[in-house]
Structure 1
């Protein structure tokens, strides 16, 4: 959306311009209100943001002039006022201002006000269409505004870290459904388990934000990155003089910083065993003490734990407290590895390709079917993160219309290298070969040329008949993925 900004303070003007540009808008700035007014008379801006106190013309006068002008009378005008200047804000609203913002301007409040204005402008154009029967003109304006709205929402999602979650498989749909349910129960702790790269923090942020954008803090603490001697003060905070080298005024820990939001404990299996009862007490009583403190503090945030280790096994081995484990698993999400959700790979790869093309300015538009087959057959030990990195590397090195197999040769090369077993064979001792049920002498080749592809299809059909048409069992029997089987018989 095109936005006109008027402010005689150059620092404020620059800050507003940067924030609005990051949100996907096209700001035009003026430090002199008279020049801004003349420009607005010649060019329409859906939204005009102006300071109230300026030397040559104040904001109220500029507002009146804009509303009297044919070009800008339908523009939304947001007035920027100082704290405590409510009388001026009320006067501005009575004189036709769309909204007002207090200094210092909060970026989130600014983004929300701009989004409301964009929606308001959409409605204005729709009404104009009904009155003036100018459907084409309004459709173009509405499309432009909707694109701007989506850009802004996308920016807000990126800032919050939610991003786009692929949910094609039924298991992922269940996880997203449960995460949304847990969002509405902030007192319920959540444990997210899954292999490295499966997107545990993304799901944790989904639990935090739900299906909307949440303004409360999301505080993350990687338990494996904190020295055991500092862990307690990092989590609970400490009072002045609690230990040598502590700050004079003490310091708040992550429990306090989370406020009414979410405390995300990544790699929770690495939490020191002697501190786990204290975390359990926080979950039970919703209170805690700082290190060296005597004042009880309330804990009002949600706790989400995550890890790639088998906590249940660690409990049996005495490496993690059983009572804490059961308390954390009131809300339990187990993320499947990417190799168990192959149906999602084509959609994920396409999404990552679009994102990388946009970032790097390349020409890729699609993924070749042969490339998708390779991607679906890869085991992905690094899961979603590895898939995203693979697409980024291919786009970084190559540029084409279609992503072809040769663009990801590095992936198949690494797979063949990784598949070599790590064994030591004694000298002069033959390496054992894998045995098969079909004797080589039983295979009779015809004298005339034949199609290997037809032979392969014939073997697949016999295997399908062997398992009564069960594609999953057939794929396992033939040592190929279900997606590859589908490709061969389709």
Structure 2
């Protein structure tokens, strides 16, 4: 075994070198701590035998330097002390010295210490040899687990509807950065505003799932789809016998079902005024009561709400509580319509084309430049949802390797460039019964067309569209649900 001997006394250094050589080991001698460190960097020495008292770097300083240097930290260090250096020897053991020898050195004691150090070094080498394959196996298993985890996260994002999260516009990239911040702060309520079809629920799910996924529930409620008289029970749940016709055993509300996940309130503008102060109290106190119940229950979920732009106007009109509006606006994201972020049109169209081609087993692979120009000229009153359905329809009806303008002829003629929406003048609608077609009339299709045009006329604002058509917001929602693809 190679042994490095360190001593500033030439006679002691020579004596130690001779004794160690006689014991069958291979010594190397240096006269100080700095020289010892230089030798250790050049060559590996399993054992260092050093005097404590030396000028410059003494034995304790050399011990510290050896143990803190990764290149030689496994080296055993034996210190040689005088009779008055017992406290220093104990301190050296605490700092990691293997052993110490008193002066004058006894050859038998030196031989015994070197023998034990040799056995210790042999054990270290054996341990390292055994650890190496284990570490390799652990590293391989860890890599495999990480790959499985990444695959699971991708499947989770696909199941959550986040595989279609595509953005290229700077504002949308900024919004997705902000969703990560809200994901990390579940106590902060978030209000998402934007026209119909811009992707409010997609952002809500991004807030819930984040980048690493979330195993808690995502519970969505469309406030426009629930009758007012059932809303409180739907949201808070009810105890047995709370009201006539209630479930005999009671029922959990969406707040309890959300657990520690996310409660997503879509179309929050349609939340009944009578329930708005109760929701505000839940957000403030994080507790609630079931309908007919007396037990206070904890609410631990995050709240994300969505509304068409114009919620503040409802506040001014007295149709939405100002205090609830400002409480929901702690986290506030305004999603721009697709017509204001043309950079996203190409990215979204390519994504939808690839997805639908795989799903429907079609040959489509790319967009023709003229097709992209056509898509970018469109105003897209239905925003991302309308673009998605347009690509889906084109892939369904046609098959080619390149999506061409003629595959999207149902959108509009190139002359209009999709900037004008087709509409029937009021006089045509009023006099329609006088010129009914002989082959028959699809009343549902005509009604759906009128409803769709009304929603587009007000850029997705369903409240204004319902008022324009002279029907309730709930009735409009039911009509829209009947349309294919919704």
TM-score relative to the length of structure 1:
0.56
The reply on whether 1:418 has 2:421 as its aligned counterpart is yes
Deviation at 1:309, TM superposition (A): 4.4
The 1-side partners of 2:364 and 2:410 are apart by 18
Q: Indicate how the Cα distance of structure 1 residues 352 and 422 shifts in structure 2: closer, same or farther if over 3 A, else same.
A: same
> 1:77 — aligned with what?
none
Matches within 5 A, 1:449-464: none
Deviation at 1:154, TM superposition (A): 3.2
The 2-side partners of 1:333 and 1:151 are apart by 30
Q: Indicate how the Cα distance of structure 1 residues 386 and 246 shifts in structure 2: closer, same or farther if over 3 A, else same.
A: same
> 1:228 — aligned with what?
228
The 2-side partners of 1:234 and 1:123 are apart by 44
The 2-side partners of 1:347 and 1:263 are apart by 30
> 1:29 — aligned with what?
none
The 2-side partners of 1:404 and 1:307 are apart by 35
Deviation at 1:320, TM superposition (A): 0.3
Secondary structure in structure 2 of the residue aligned to 1:327: helix
The 1-side partners of 2:324 and 2:239 are apart by 26
Deviation at 1:406, TM superposition (A): 0.5
Matches within 5 A, 1:8-407: 120=141, 152-407=152-407
Secondary structure in structure 2 of the residue aligned to 1:256: helix
Secondary structure in structure 1 of the residue aligned to 2:412: helix
Secondary structure in structure 1 of the residue aligned to 2:274: helix
Secondary structure in structure 1 of the residue aligned to 2:303: strand
The 2-side partners of 1:286 and 1:204 are apart by 20
Listed as ranges, the gaps of 5+ residues in structure 2 are 1-137, 429-486
Say if 1:193 and 1:334, in contact at 8 Å, map to a contact too.
Answer: yes
The 2-side partners of 1:407 and 1:193 are apart by 33
Deviation at 1:252, TM superposition (A): 1.1
Q: Indicate how the Cα distance of structure 1 residues 375 and 188 shifts in structure 2: closer, same or farther if over 3 A, else same.
A: same
* Structure of larger gyration radius: 2
The 2-side partners of 1:195 and 1:362 are apart by 32
Q: Indicate how the Cα distance of structure 1 residues 241 and 396 shifts in structure 2: closer, same or farther if over 3 A, else same.
A: same
Deviation at 1:312, TM superposition (A): 0.3
The 2-side partners of 1:416 and 1:176 are apart by 29
Deviation at 1:122, TM superposition (A): 5.7
> 1:473 — aligned with what?
none
Deviation at 1:152, TM superposition (A): 4.7
Secondary structure in structure 2 of the residue aligned to 1:371: helix
The 1-side partners of 2:421 and 2:338 are apart by 18
The 2-side partners of 1:352 and 1:152 are apart by 22
The 2-side partners of 1:203 and 1:404 are apart by 31
Q: Indicate how the Cα distance of structure 1 residues 164 and 119 shifts in structure 2: closer, same or farther if over 3 A, else same.
A: farther
* Partner deviation per Cα, 1:354-406 (whole Å, 9 max, x = no partner): 00110011111110000000000000001001101111111111111111110
* Partner deviation per Cα, 1:280-327 (whole Å, 9 max, x = no partner): 000001011111111111111101110114110000000000000000
Say if 2:379 and 2:419, in contact at 8 Å, map to a contact too.
Answer: no
The 2-side partners of 1:397 and 1:276 are apart by 46
Say if 1:239 and 1:293, in contact at 8 Å, map to a contact too.
Answer: yes
> 2:129 — aligned with what?
none
Q: Indicate how the Cα distance of structure 1 residues 226 and 387 shifts in structure 2: closer, same or farther if over 3 A, else same.
A: same
The 2-side partners of 1:180 and 1:122 are apart by 26
Q: Indicate how the Cα distance of structure 1 residues 273 and 390 shifts in structure 2: closer, same or farther if over 3 A, else same.
A: same
* Partner deviation per Cα, 1:1-21 (whole Å, 9 max, x = no partner): xxxxxxxxxxxxxxxxxxxxx
Query: CA-atom RMSD, angstroms?
Result: 2.6
Say if 1:198 and 1:336, in contact at 8 Å, map to a contact too.
Answer: yes
Secondary structure in structure 2 of the residue aligned to 1:265: strand
The 2-side partners of 1:199 and 1:349 are apart by 15
Matches within 5 A, 1:465-484: none
Secondary structure in structure 2 of the residue aligned to 1:410: coil
Deviation at 1:120, TM superposition (A): 2.8
The 2-side partners of 1:301 and 1:385 are apart by 28
Q: Indicate how the Cα distance of structure 1 residues 119 and 150 shifts in structure 2: closer, same or farther if over 3 A, else same.
A: farther
> 1:448 — aligned with what?
none
Q: Indicate how the Cα distance of structure 1 residues 420 and 237 shifts in structure 2: closer, same or farther if over 3 A, else same.
A: closer
Say if 2:217 and 2:260, in contact at 8 Å, map to a contact too.
Answer: yes
Listed as ranges, the gaps of 5+ residues in structure 1 are 1-116, 125-144, 426-490
The 2-side partners of 1:118 and 1:375 are apart by 49
TM-score relative to the length of structure 2:
0.56
